Structure 1
Amino acid sequence: MSPKRSLLLSILCAASLSACAQSPSSAAEDPAADAAAPAAAQIETAPGTPEDRARKAILSINPDIRIDSIAAAPLEGFREVIVGGQALYVSDDGKYLLQGSLFDIEAKKDVTQAGVAEVRRKLLAAVPASDRIVFAPANPKYTVSVFTDVECGYCRKLHQDIAEYNKRGIAIEYLAFPRMGVGTPDYELMVSVWCSPDRRKALTDAKDGRRVPSRKCENPVASQYQLGQRVGLTGTPMIVTESGVQMPGYLPPDALLSALEQADADAAARASGG
Protein backbone atom coordinates (compact mmCIF):
# COMPACT_ATOMS: atom_id res chain seq x y z
CA MET A 1 0.00 0.00 0.00
CA SER A 2 1.38 3.41 -0.94
CA PRO A 3 2.10 5.99 1.82
CA LYS A 4 -0.60 8.30 0.42
CA ARG A 5 -3.25 5.55 0.37
CA SER A 6 -2.21 4.45 3.85
CA LEU A 7 -2.65 8.04 5.12
CA LEU A 8 -6.11 8.34 3.59
CA LEU A 9 -7.13 4.98 5.07
CA SER A 10 -5.95 6.22 8.48
CA ILE A 11 -8.10 9.33 8.07
CA LEU A 12 -11.18 7.25 7.30
CA CYS A 13 -10.43 4.83 10.14
CA ALA A 14 -10.33 7.80 12.52
CA ALA A 15 -13.60 9.06 11.07
CA SER A 16 -15.42 5.73 11.24
CA LEU A 17 -14.83 3.50 14.23
CA SER A 18 -17.56 1.14 13.11
CA ALA A 19 -15.62 0.34 9.96
CA CYS A 20 -12.05 0.34 11.25
CA ALA A 21 -11.76 -0.16 14.99
CA GLN A 22 -11.81 -3.66 16.43
CA SER A 23 -12.94 -4.28 19.98
CA PRO A 24 -11.01 -6.76 22.16
CA SER A 25 -13.65 -9.35 21.24
CA SER A 26 -15.52 -8.60 18.06
CA ALA A 27 -19.16 -9.34 17.30
CA ALA A 28 -17.98 -11.96 14.85
CA GLU A 29 -16.81 -14.04 17.84
CA ASP A 30 -20.26 -13.90 19.41
CA PRO A 31 -23.02 -15.38 17.20
CA ALA A 32 -25.81 -14.00 19.39
CA ALA A 33 -24.36 -10.51 19.25
CA ASP A 34 -23.83 -10.80 15.51
CA ALA A 35 -27.46 -11.76 15.02
CA ALA A 36 -28.58 -8.78 17.09
CA ALA A 37 -26.50 -6.30 15.11
CA PRO A 38 -28.01 -4.88 11.92
CA ALA A 39 -26.26 -5.59 8.64
CA ALA A 40 -24.36 -2.67 7.13
CA ALA A 41 -26.20 -1.05 4.25
CA GLN A 42 -24.55 1.42 1.93
CA ILE A 43 -26.29 4.62 0.92
CA GLU A 44 -27.57 4.71 -2.68
CA THR A 45 -26.75 7.50 -5.13
CA ALA A 46 -27.80 8.29 -8.69
CA PRO A 47 -25.07 7.44 -11.22
CA GLY A 48 -23.05 10.36 -12.55
CA THR A 49 -24.03 12.79 -9.78
CA PRO A 50 -21.63 14.60 -7.41
CA GLU A 51 -23.07 12.44 -4.62
CA ASP A 52 -22.22 9.30 -6.55
CA ARG A 53 -18.68 10.47 -7.21
CA ALA A 54 -18.27 11.32 -3.52
CA ARG A 55 -19.54 7.88 -2.49
CA LYS A 56 -17.23 6.11 -4.91
CA ALA A 57 -14.28 8.22 -3.78
CA ILE A 58 -14.82 7.27 -0.13
CA LEU A 59 -15.35 3.58 -0.90
CA SER A 60 -12.27 3.49 -3.13
CA ILE A 61 -10.22 4.29 -0.03
CA ASN A 62 -12.01 1.83 2.24
CA PRO A 63 -14.91 -0.27 0.84
CA ASP A 64 -15.99 -1.24 4.39
CA ILE A 65 -16.81 2.34 5.40
CA ARG A 66 -20.50 2.81 6.24
CA ILE A 67 -21.68 6.14 4.83
CA ASP A 68 -24.64 7.63 6.69
CA SER A 69 -25.28 10.74 4.61
CA ILE A 70 -24.15 12.57 1.47
CA ALA A 71 -25.44 16.08 0.87
CA ALA A 72 -24.42 19.46 -0.50
CA ALA A 73 -21.69 20.97 1.66
CA PRO A 74 -21.59 24.55 2.98
CA LEU A 75 -18.40 24.75 0.90
CA GLU A 76 -19.14 25.35 -2.79
CA GLY A 77 -17.99 22.55 -5.08
CA PHE A 78 -17.98 19.89 -2.35
CA ARG A 79 -20.30 17.23 -0.94
CA GLU A 80 -20.56 16.68 2.81
CA VAL A 81 -20.18 12.99 3.68
CA ILE A 82 -21.04 11.82 7.20
CA VAL A 83 -19.23 8.70 8.43
CA GLY A 84 -18.75 7.56 12.01
CA GLY A 85 -20.33 10.74 13.41
CA GLN A 86 -17.87 12.97 11.59
CA ALA A 87 -18.03 15.09 8.43
CA LEU A 88 -15.74 14.68 5.45
CA TYR A 89 -15.80 16.93 2.40
CA VAL A 90 -15.30 15.46 -1.08
CA SER A 91 -14.98 17.62 -4.19
CA ASP A 92 -17.78 17.25 -6.71
CA ASP A 93 -15.38 15.62 -9.17
CA GLY A 94 -14.42 13.02 -6.53
CA LYS A 95 -10.77 14.05 -6.64
CA TYR A 96 -10.18 15.80 -3.32
CA LEU A 97 -11.06 15.00 0.30
CA LEU A 98 -11.00 17.40 3.25
CA GLN A 99 -11.38 16.49 6.91
CA GLY A 100 -11.95 18.91 9.78
CA SER A 101 -14.31 21.60 11.04
CA LEU A 102 -15.72 24.14 8.61
CA PHE A 103 -16.13 27.54 10.24
CA ASP A 104 -18.37 30.28 8.84
CA ILE A 105 -16.42 33.46 9.63
CA GLU A 106 -19.30 35.84 8.94
CA ALA A 107 -21.80 33.85 11.03
CA LYS A 108 -19.11 32.99 13.59
CA LYS A 109 -20.15 29.36 13.90
CA ASP A 110 -18.99 25.85 13.09
CA VAL A 111 -21.23 24.74 10.21
CA THR A 112 -19.87 21.19 10.27
CA GLN A 113 -22.02 20.15 13.21
CA ALA A 114 -25.42 20.72 11.60
CA GLY A 115 -25.11 17.78 9.20
CA VAL A 116 -23.60 15.52 11.83
CA ALA A 117 -26.37 16.37 14.32
CA GLU A 118 -29.09 15.61 11.77
CA VAL A 119 -27.62 12.17 11.09
CA ARG A 120 -27.40 11.51 14.85
CA ARG A 121 -31.01 12.62 15.28
CA LYS A 122 -32.27 10.21 12.62
CA LEU A 123 -30.23 7.27 13.89
CA LEU A 124 -31.31 7.76 17.50
CA ALA A 125 -34.95 8.34 16.56
CA ALA A 126 -34.98 4.82 15.11
CA VAL A 127 -34.21 3.25 18.52
CA PRO A 128 -37.52 2.19 20.11
CA ALA A 129 -38.34 3.18 23.67
CA SER A 130 -38.54 -0.51 24.57
CA ASP A 131 -34.81 -0.87 23.87
CA ARG A 132 -33.85 1.98 26.23
CA ILE A 133 -33.64 2.16 30.01
CA VAL A 134 -35.55 5.30 30.90
CA PHE A 135 -35.45 7.47 34.01
CA ALA A 136 -37.89 10.32 33.45
CA PRO A 137 -40.03 12.81 35.39
CA ALA A 138 -43.77 12.94 34.78
CA ASN A 139 -43.60 15.81 32.29
CA PRO A 140 -40.02 16.19 31.05
CA LYS A 141 -38.94 19.49 29.55
CA TYR A 142 -35.93 17.87 27.92
CA THR A 143 -35.08 14.33 26.88
CA VAL A 144 -31.52 13.18 26.22
CA SER A 145 -30.09 9.89 25.01
CA VAL A 146 -27.09 8.75 27.05
CA PHE A 147 -24.70 6.05 25.87
CA THR A 148 -23.52 4.46 29.10
CA ASP A 149 -21.19 1.78 30.40
CA VAL A 150 -21.58 0.12 33.80
CA GLU A 151 -17.83 0.32 34.57
CA CYS A 152 -17.30 3.99 33.57
CA GLY A 153 -16.62 6.30 36.53
CA TYR A 154 -18.37 9.33 35.05
CA CYS A 155 -21.30 7.14 33.96
CA ARG A 156 -21.67 6.08 37.59
CA LYS A 157 -21.38 9.67 38.74
CA LEU A 158 -24.15 10.73 36.36
CA HIS A 159 -26.39 7.89 37.53
CA GLN A 160 -25.88 8.77 41.20
CA ASP A 161 -27.63 12.07 40.44
CA ILE A 162 -30.38 10.61 38.28
CA ALA A 163 -33.08 11.96 40.60
CA GLU A 164 -31.56 15.45 40.37
CA TYR A 165 -31.66 15.39 36.56
CA ASN A 166 -35.30 14.34 36.75
CA LYS A 167 -36.09 17.12 39.25
CA ARG A 168 -34.80 19.61 36.69
CA GLY A 169 -37.17 18.23 34.06
CA ILE A 170 -34.56 16.16 32.22
CA ALA A 171 -35.43 12.63 31.10
CA ILE A 172 -32.43 10.30 30.78
CA GLU A 173 -32.81 7.52 28.21
CA TYR A 174 -29.91 5.09 28.45
CA LEU A 175 -28.38 3.18 25.55
CA ALA A 176 -25.75 0.49 26.07
CA PHE A 177 -22.11 1.02 25.17
CA PRO A 178 -19.83 -1.62 26.77
CA ARG A 179 -16.48 0.14 26.32
CA MET A 180 -14.42 -3.05 26.35
CA GLY A 181 -16.28 -4.41 23.36
CA VAL A 182 -18.71 -7.15 22.43
CA GLY A 183 -18.09 -10.50 24.09
CA THR A 184 -16.21 -9.09 27.10
CA PRO A 185 -17.31 -9.41 30.76
CA ASP A 186 -18.40 -5.75 30.56
CA TYR A 187 -20.64 -6.62 27.61
CA GLU A 188 -22.03 -9.71 29.33
CA LEU A 189 -22.93 -7.67 32.40
CA MET A 190 -24.77 -5.14 30.27
CA VAL A 191 -26.64 -7.96 28.53
CA SER A 192 -27.69 -9.22 31.98
CA VAL A 193 -28.92 -5.72 32.84
CA TRP A 194 -30.95 -5.40 29.64
CA CYS A 195 -32.36 -8.91 30.14
CA SER A 196 -33.42 -8.27 33.74
CA PRO A 197 -37.13 -8.11 34.57
CA ASP A 198 -36.45 -4.75 36.23
CA ARG A 199 -33.87 -3.06 34.01
CA ARG A 200 -33.79 0.17 36.01
CA LYS A 201 -32.93 -1.65 39.25
CA ALA A 202 -30.41 -3.90 37.51
CA LEU A 203 -28.65 -0.91 35.93
CA THR A 204 -28.51 0.88 39.28
CA ASP A 205 -27.16 -2.26 40.97
CA ALA A 206 -24.50 -2.72 38.28
CA LYS A 207 -23.37 0.89 38.53
CA ASP A 208 -23.22 0.60 42.32
CA GLY A 209 -21.08 -2.53 42.12
CA ARG A 210 -23.81 -4.86 43.36
CA ARG A 211 -24.27 -8.31 41.82
CA VAL A 212 -26.61 -8.62 38.86
CA PRO A 213 -27.77 -12.20 38.11
CA SER A 214 -26.45 -13.47 34.78
CA ARG A 215 -29.17 -13.60 32.13
CA LYS A 216 -29.46 -14.14 28.38
CA CYS A 217 -32.21 -12.98 26.06
CA GLU A 218 -32.77 -11.23 22.77
CA ASN A 219 -31.29 -7.81 23.49
CA PRO A 220 -30.11 -4.58 21.80
CA VAL A 221 -26.69 -4.26 23.50
CA ALA A 222 -24.58 -5.21 20.47
CA SER A 223 -26.61 -3.08 18.07
CA GLN A 224 -26.48 -0.09 20.44
CA TYR A 225 -22.72 -0.55 20.74
CA GLN A 226 -22.47 -0.30 16.96
CA LEU A 227 -24.83 2.67 16.96
CA GLY A 228 -22.56 4.49 19.41
CA GLN A 229 -19.70 4.06 16.96
CA ARG A 230 -21.82 5.32 14.08
CA VAL A 231 -22.79 8.52 15.89
CA GLY A 232 -19.17 9.35 16.72
CA LEU A 233 -18.84 8.20 20.32
CA THR A 234 -15.32 8.69 21.67
CA GLY A 235 -16.05 8.26 25.38
CA THR A 236 -18.82 7.52 27.84
CA PRO A 237 -21.14 8.93 28.92
CA MET A 238 -22.12 10.43 25.57
CA ILE A 239 -25.11 12.73 25.99
CA VAL A 240 -27.13 13.60 22.88
CA THR A 241 -30.15 15.90 22.64
CA GLU A 242 -33.32 15.08 20.73
CA SER A 243 -32.05 17.26 17.87
CA GLY A 244 -28.82 15.27 17.65
CA VAL A 245 -26.52 17.76 19.34
CA GLN A 246 -23.75 16.15 21.38
CA MET A 247 -23.11 17.61 24.82
CA PRO A 248 -19.45 18.07 25.88
CA GLY A 249 -19.03 14.89 27.96
CA TYR A 250 -20.33 14.41 31.50
CA LEU A 251 -22.28 17.39 32.87
CA PRO A 252 -23.74 17.70 36.40
CA PRO A 253 -27.50 18.34 36.60
CA ASP A 254 -27.39 22.16 36.69
CA ALA A 255 -24.75 22.33 33.97
CA LEU A 256 -26.71 19.98 31.71
CA LEU A 257 -29.87 22.01 32.21
CA SER A 258 -28.01 25.21 31.31
CA ALA A 259 -26.50 23.55 28.23
CA LEU A 260 -29.90 22.34 27.06
CA GLU A 261 -31.43 25.79 27.59
CA GLN A 262 -28.58 27.34 25.62
CA ALA A 263 -29.06 24.81 22.81
CA ASP A 264 -32.75 25.78 22.68
CA ALA A 265 -31.83 29.47 22.54
CA ASP A 266 -29.30 28.85 19.76
CA ALA A 267 -31.87 26.89 17.74
CA ALA A 268 -34.44 29.68 18.17
CA ALA A 269 -31.88 32.25 17.03
CA ARG A 270 -31.08 30.21 13.91
CA ALA A 271 -34.78 29.80 13.13
CA SER A 272 -35.31 33.56 13.35
CA GLY A 273 -32.25 34.27 11.23
CA GLY A 274 -30.32 35.73 14.16
Structure 2
Amino acid sequence: MKRFLLVAALGAISLSACAQTPQPASQATVSPAAPAPTASTAGTADARAIAAIAGLNPDVKVEHVGAAPMPGFREAIVGGQVIYVSDDGRYLFLAGAGGALLDTRTQKNLSEGALGKMRIKLLATIPASERIVFAPPNPTHTVTVFTDVECGYCRKMHSEIKEYNAQGIAVEYLAFPRMGIGSEDFNKMVSVWCAPDRKAALTLAKSNGQVASKSCKNTVTMQYNVGQRAGLTGTPMILAADGTQLGGYVPPKALRIALDKLDADRTAVSGS
Protein backbone atom coordinates (compact mmCIF):
# COMPACT_ATOMS: atom_id res chain seq x y z
CA MET A 1 0.00 0.00 0.00
CA LYS A 2 2.93 2.41 0.50
CA ARG A 3 3.80 2.41 -3.18
CA PHE A 4 0.14 2.42 -4.15
CA LEU A 5 -0.57 5.49 -2.03
CA LEU A 6 1.97 7.71 -3.75
CA VAL A 7 1.21 6.41 -7.23
CA ALA A 8 -2.49 7.06 -6.68
CA ALA A 9 -1.86 10.55 -5.36
CA LEU A 10 0.45 11.30 -8.28
CA GLY A 11 -2.35 10.62 -10.72
CA ALA A 12 -0.89 12.94 -13.33
CA ILE A 13 2.25 10.82 -13.73
CA SER A 14 0.70 7.44 -13.08
CA LEU A 15 1.11 4.86 -15.82
CA SER A 16 -2.22 3.30 -14.87
CA ALA A 17 -4.57 5.94 -16.23
CA CYS A 18 -5.28 7.66 -19.54
CA ALA A 19 -4.88 11.44 -19.55
CA GLN A 20 -8.12 13.40 -19.47
CA THR A 21 -7.20 15.33 -22.62
CA PRO A 22 -4.23 15.11 -25.00
CA GLN A 23 -1.27 17.11 -23.75
CA PRO A 24 1.61 18.51 -25.84
CA ALA A 25 5.01 17.03 -25.23
CA SER A 26 6.87 18.92 -22.54
CA GLN A 27 9.87 20.94 -23.63
CA ALA A 28 11.08 21.50 -20.08
CA THR A 29 14.57 20.44 -19.18
CA VAL A 30 15.01 17.92 -16.41
CA SER A 31 17.15 18.78 -13.42
CA PRO A 32 19.74 16.24 -12.32
CA ALA A 33 18.28 13.71 -9.92
CA ALA A 34 18.55 14.75 -6.30
CA PRO A 35 21.49 12.95 -4.68
CA ALA A 36 20.84 10.28 -2.12
CA PRO A 37 21.57 11.33 1.47
CA THR A 38 25.24 11.03 2.38
CA ALA A 39 27.14 11.34 5.63
CA SER A 40 27.33 15.10 5.09
CA THR A 41 23.63 15.51 4.28
CA ALA A 42 22.11 12.88 6.60
CA GLY A 43 19.83 14.46 9.16
CA THR A 44 19.17 17.55 7.06
CA ALA A 45 15.73 18.65 5.94
CA ASP A 46 16.64 17.75 2.35
CA ALA A 47 17.60 14.22 3.40
CA ARG A 48 14.38 13.82 5.39
CA ALA A 49 12.36 14.95 2.37
CA ILE A 50 14.07 12.42 0.10
CA ALA A 51 13.64 9.68 2.70
CA ALA A 52 9.95 10.50 3.17
CA ILE A 53 9.29 10.21 -0.58
CA ALA A 54 11.32 7.00 -0.83
CA GLY A 55 9.37 5.59 2.12
CA LEU A 56 6.16 5.91 0.12
CA ASN A 57 7.59 4.67 -3.15
CA PRO A 58 11.27 3.67 -3.39
CA ASP A 59 11.02 3.51 -7.20
CA VAL A 60 10.14 7.19 -7.59
CA LYS A 61 12.99 9.38 -8.87
CA VAL A 62 13.43 12.68 -7.04
CA GLU A 63 14.67 15.15 -9.67
CA HIS A 64 15.29 18.09 -7.32
CA VAL A 65 14.98 19.04 -3.66
CA GLY A 66 15.55 22.43 -2.09
CA ALA A 67 14.01 25.30 -0.15
CA ALA A 68 10.25 25.78 -0.47
CA PRO A 69 8.58 29.20 -0.81
CA MET A 70 6.95 28.76 2.62
CA PRO A 71 8.83 28.19 5.88
CA GLY A 72 8.96 24.73 7.42
CA PHE A 73 8.87 22.83 4.11
CA ARG A 74 11.22 21.54 1.43
CA GLU A 75 10.30 21.55 -2.24
CA ALA A 76 10.88 18.44 -4.35
CA ILE A 77 10.19 17.62 -7.99
CA VAL A 78 9.11 14.09 -8.86
CA GLY A 79 8.11 13.14 -12.38
CA GLY A 80 7.36 16.74 -13.27
CA GLN A 81 5.18 17.21 -10.19
CA VAL A 82 5.97 19.58 -7.34
CA ILE A 83 5.86 18.06 -3.86
CA TYR A 84 6.23 19.87 -0.54
CA VAL A 85 7.59 17.93 2.43
CA SER A 86 7.65 19.27 5.99
CA ASP A 87 11.16 19.75 7.38
CA ASP A 88 10.66 16.86 9.80
CA GLY A 89 9.59 14.56 6.93
CA ARG A 90 6.16 13.92 8.48
CA TYR A 91 3.82 15.63 6.02
CA LEU A 92 3.88 15.56 2.25
CA PHE A 93 1.74 17.75 0.02
CA LEU A 94 1.31 17.30 -3.71
CA ALA A 95 0.71 20.51 -5.62
CA GLY A 96 -1.51 20.79 -8.67
CA ALA A 97 -5.05 19.75 -9.56
CA GLY A 98 -4.66 16.33 -7.96
CA GLY A 99 -3.06 17.76 -4.82
CA ALA A 100 -3.15 15.77 -1.61
CA LEU A 101 -1.73 16.05 1.89
CA LEU A 102 -0.08 12.82 3.01
CA ASP A 103 1.04 11.69 6.46
CA THR A 104 4.20 9.72 5.72
CA ARG A 105 4.17 7.96 9.12
CA THR A 106 0.63 6.62 9.04
CA GLN A 107 0.56 6.26 5.23
CA LYS A 108 -2.70 8.24 5.20
CA ASN A 109 -3.90 10.66 2.56
CA LEU A 110 -5.29 13.36 4.85
CA SER A 111 -7.06 15.08 1.95
CA GLU A 112 -9.09 11.99 1.07
CA GLY A 113 -11.43 12.32 4.06
CA ALA A 114 -12.88 15.62 2.90
CA LEU A 115 -12.71 14.66 -0.77
CA GLY A 116 -14.37 11.31 -0.10
CA LYS A 117 -17.37 12.90 1.63
CA MET A 118 -17.75 15.35 -1.25
CA ARG A 119 -17.53 12.56 -3.83
CA ILE A 120 -20.22 10.53 -2.06
CA LYS A 121 -22.60 13.50 -2.27
CA LEU A 122 -21.76 14.06 -5.93
CA LEU A 123 -22.24 10.38 -6.83
CA ALA A 124 -25.59 10.36 -5.05
CA THR A 125 -26.89 12.82 -7.67
CA ILE A 126 -26.53 10.14 -10.36
CA PRO A 127 -29.46 7.69 -10.28
CA ALA A 128 -28.62 4.03 -9.79
CA SER A 129 -30.44 3.31 -13.04
CA GLU A 130 -27.83 5.36 -14.91
CA ARG A 131 -24.91 3.16 -13.86
CA ILE A 132 -23.73 0.20 -15.91
CA VAL A 133 -23.16 -2.51 -13.32
CA PHE A 134 -21.09 -5.68 -13.53
CA ALA A 135 -21.44 -7.53 -10.24
CA PRO A 136 -21.11 -11.01 -8.72
CA PRO A 137 -24.15 -12.50 -6.91
CA ASN A 138 -23.08 -11.35 -3.43
CA PRO A 139 -20.35 -8.70 -3.74
CA THR A 140 -18.02 -8.02 -0.84
CA HIS A 141 -17.04 -4.61 -2.19
CA THR A 142 -18.55 -2.13 -4.64
CA VAL A 143 -16.52 0.43 -6.55
CA THR A 144 -17.58 3.27 -8.81
CA VAL A 145 -15.45 3.62 -11.94
CA PHE A 146 -15.46 6.62 -14.25
CA THR A 147 -14.63 5.08 -17.61
CA ASP A 148 -14.07 5.92 -21.26
CA VAL A 149 -14.42 3.69 -24.34
CA GLU A 150 -11.25 5.06 -25.97
CA CYS A 151 -8.85 4.74 -23.01
CA GLY A 152 -6.47 1.79 -23.21
CA TYR A 153 -6.39 1.27 -19.44
CA CYS A 154 -10.21 1.39 -19.31
CA ARG A 155 -10.29 -1.34 -21.94
CA LYS A 156 -7.73 -3.39 -20.04
CA MET A 157 -9.73 -3.10 -16.84
CA HIS A 158 -12.95 -4.14 -18.58
CA SER A 159 -11.24 -7.10 -20.26
CA GLU A 160 -10.69 -8.41 -16.70
CA ILE A 161 -14.19 -7.63 -15.42
CA LYS A 162 -14.89 -11.31 -14.68
CA GLU A 163 -11.76 -11.43 -12.52
CA TYR A 164 -12.90 -8.37 -10.55
CA ASN A 165 -16.24 -10.05 -9.99
CA ALA A 166 -14.47 -13.27 -8.97
CA GLN A 167 -12.64 -11.21 -6.32
CA GLY A 168 -16.05 -10.23 -4.91
CA ILE A 169 -15.93 -6.74 -6.41
CA ALA A 170 -18.95 -5.13 -8.06
CA VAL A 171 -18.06 -2.47 -10.63
CA GLU A 172 -20.49 0.38 -11.26
CA TYR A 173 -19.45 2.29 -14.37
CA LEU A 174 -20.08 5.97 -14.98
CA ALA A 175 -19.28 7.79 -18.21
CA PHE A 176 -16.34 10.12 -18.60
CA PRO A 177 -15.60 10.81 -22.29
CA ARG A 178 -12.13 12.26 -21.74
CA MET A 179 -12.03 14.04 -25.10
CA GLY A 180 -14.87 16.28 -23.93
CA ILE A 181 -18.52 16.99 -24.55
CA GLY A 182 -19.44 16.93 -28.24
CA SER A 183 -16.42 14.83 -29.27
CA GLU A 184 -16.63 11.55 -31.18
CA ASP A 185 -15.71 9.86 -27.92
CA PHE A 186 -18.65 11.59 -26.22
CA ASN A 187 -21.03 10.48 -28.99
CA LYS A 188 -19.89 6.86 -28.61
CA MET A 189 -20.59 6.98 -24.89
CA VAL A 190 -24.02 8.49 -25.50
CA SER A 191 -24.68 5.60 -27.91
CA VAL A 192 -23.68 3.12 -25.20
CA TRP A 193 -25.98 4.72 -22.62
CA CYS A 194 -28.81 4.80 -25.17
CA ALA A 195 -28.38 1.16 -26.22
CA PRO A 196 -31.12 -1.32 -25.25
CA ASP A 197 -28.42 -3.48 -23.63
CA ARG A 198 -25.90 -1.08 -22.12
CA LYS A 199 -23.63 -3.79 -20.75
CA ALA A 200 -23.30 -5.48 -24.13
CA ALA A 201 -22.82 -2.13 -25.88
CA LEU A 202 -20.10 -1.04 -23.44
CA THR A 203 -18.28 -4.37 -23.80
CA LEU A 204 -18.43 -4.15 -27.59
CA ALA A 205 -17.27 -0.53 -27.65
CA LYS A 206 -14.31 -1.37 -25.45
CA SER A 207 -13.36 -4.47 -27.41
CA ASN A 208 -13.33 -2.98 -30.92
CA GLY A 209 -14.26 0.70 -30.56
CA GLN A 210 -17.50 0.17 -32.45
CA VAL A 211 -21.00 0.90 -31.20
CA ALA A 212 -24.27 1.40 -33.06
CA SER A 213 -25.07 5.12 -33.16
CA LYS A 214 -27.94 5.96 -30.82
CA SER A 215 -29.47 9.13 -29.45
CA CYS A 216 -31.80 9.56 -26.50
CA LYS A 217 -32.32 11.52 -23.32
CA ASN A 218 -29.24 10.61 -21.29
CA THR A 219 -27.05 11.62 -18.35
CA VAL A 220 -23.60 11.32 -19.97
CA THR A 221 -23.01 15.08 -19.72
CA MET A 222 -24.10 15.03 -16.09
CA GLN A 223 -21.76 12.13 -15.32
CA TYR A 224 -18.88 13.92 -17.07
CA ASN A 225 -19.48 17.04 -14.98
CA VAL A 226 -19.63 15.02 -11.77
CA GLY A 227 -16.34 13.36 -12.68
CA GLN A 228 -14.68 16.73 -13.11
CA ARG A 229 -16.02 17.97 -9.79
CA ALA A 230 -14.86 14.76 -8.11
CA GLY A 231 -11.27 15.56 -9.06
CA LEU A 232 -10.82 13.21 -12.00
CA THR A 233 -7.46 13.62 -13.73
CA GLY A 234 -7.50 10.47 -15.87
CA THR A 235 -9.53 7.38 -16.69
CA PRO A 236 -10.29 4.97 -15.24
CA MET A 237 -10.93 6.60 -11.88
CA ILE A 238 -11.77 4.00 -9.22
CA LEU A 239 -13.66 5.14 -6.12
CA ALA A 240 -14.34 3.01 -3.05
CA ALA A 241 -17.71 3.13 -1.29
CA ASP A 242 -16.43 5.83 1.07
CA GLY A 243 -15.30 8.02 -1.83
CA THR A 244 -11.60 7.16 -1.50
CA GLN A 245 -9.81 7.28 -4.84
CA LEU A 246 -7.90 4.08 -5.54
CA GLY A 247 -5.93 5.28 -8.54
CA GLY A 248 -6.30 4.44 -12.21
CA TYR A 249 -6.10 0.85 -13.44
CA VAL A 250 -5.51 -1.53 -10.51
CA PRO A 251 -5.29 -5.30 -11.14
CA PRO A 252 -8.15 -7.37 -9.65
CA LYS A 253 -6.20 -8.99 -6.80
CA ALA A 254 -4.46 -5.73 -5.88
CA LEU A 255 -7.80 -3.91 -5.84
CA ARG A 256 -9.29 -6.53 -3.51
CA ILE A 257 -6.31 -6.13 -1.17
CA ALA A 258 -6.67 -2.34 -1.19
CA LEU A 259 -10.41 -2.54 -0.49
CA ASP A 260 -9.92 -5.07 2.32
CA LYS A 261 -7.33 -2.77 3.89
CA LEU A 262 -9.68 0.22 3.70
CA ASP A 263 -12.34 -1.79 5.51
CA ALA A 264 -9.82 -2.97 8.14
CA ASP A 265 -8.60 0.58 8.71
CA ARG A 266 -12.16 1.86 9.14
CA THR A 267 -12.92 -0.95 11.60
CA ALA A 268 -9.78 -0.18 13.58
CA VAL A 269 -10.66 3.51 13.79
CA SER A 270 -14.27 2.89 14.82
CA GLY A 271 -13.14 0.38 17.43
CA SER A 272 -10.46 2.60 18.95
TM-score (norm 2): 0.62
Other-structure match for 1:174: 173
Other-structure match for 2:196: 197
SS at match of 2:162: helix
Other-structure match for 1:260: 259
SS at match of 2:217: coil
TM-score (norm 1): 0.61
In the alignment, residue 270 of structure 1 is paired with which amino acid? V
Could you tell me how far 1:255 is from its partner in structure 2? 0.6
Other-structure match for 1:17: none
SS at match of 1:147: strand
Could you tell me how far 1:159 is from its partner in structure 2? 0.3
Could you tell me how far 1:163 is from its partner in structure 2? 0.7
Per the alignment, do residues 137 and 110 of structure 1 end up closer, same or farther by CA in structure 2, a change over 3 Å counting?
A: closer
- In 2, the alpha carbon distance for the partners of 1:146 and 1:215 equals 23
Other-structure match for 2:249: 250
- In 2, the alpha carbon distance for the partners of 1:154 and 1:190 equals 16
After superposition, the C-alpha distances for 1:207-231 in whole angstroms (9 at most, x for unaligned) are 0115311110001111100000000
Other-structure match for 1:135: 134
In the alignment, residue 229 of structure 1 is paired with which amino acid? Q
Structure 1 unaligned regions, length at least 5: 1-21, 25-98
After superposition, the C-alpha distances for 1:17-55 in whole angstroms (9 at most, x for unaligned) are xxxxx989xxxxxxxxxxxxxxxxxxxxxxxxxxxxxxx
C-alpha RMSD of the superposition: 2.4
- In 1, the alpha carbon distance for the partners of 2:214 and 2:168 equals 33
Other-structure match for 2:80: none
In the alignment, residue 163 of structure 1 is paired with which amino acid? K
- Judge conservation of contact 2:149–2:209 (CA < 8 Å) in 1: no
Other-structure match for 1:233: 232
- Judge conservation of contact 1:23–1:182 (CA < 8 Å) in 2: no
Structure 2 unaligned regions, length at least 5: 1-19, 23-94
- Judge conservation of contact 2:112–2:245 (CA < 8 Å) in 1: no
- Judge conservation of contact 1:117–1:244 (CA < 8 Å) in 2: yes
- Judge conservation of contact 2:150–2:209 (CA < 8 Å) in 1: no
- In 2, the alpha carbon distance for the partners of 1:269 and 1:204 equals 39
- In 1, the alpha carbon distance for the partners of 2:205 and 2:158 equals 11
Could you tell me how far 1:148 is from its partner in structure 2? 0.2
Q: Identical aligned pairs, as a percentage?
A: 57
- In 1, the alpha carbon distance for the partners of 2:100 and 2:211 equals 43
Could you tell me how far 1:168 is from its partner in structure 2? 1.2
- In 1, the alpha carbon distance for the partners of 2:196 and 2:107 equals 50
Other-structure match for 1:222: 221
Per the alignment, do residues 101 and 216 of structure 1 end up closer, same or farther by CA in structure 2, a change over 3 Å counting?
A: closer
- In 2, the alpha carbon distance for the partners of 1:260 and 1:152 equals 24
Per the alignment, do residues 181 and 272 of structure 1 end up closer, same or farther by CA in structure 2, a change over 3 Å counting?
A: same
Per the alignment, do residues 107 and 213 of structure 1 end up closer, same or farther by CA in structure 2, a change over 3 Å counting?
A: closer
In the alignment, residue 187 of structure 2 is paired with which amino acid? E
Other-structure match for 1:114: 113
1:212 maps to 2:211: yes
Task: Name the structure with the higher helix share.
Answer: 1
**Structure 2 counterparts to residues 1-274 of structure 1, below 5 A:** 101-102=100-101, 109-209=108-208, 211-273=210-272
Could you tell me how far 1:269 is from its partner in structure 2? 1.7
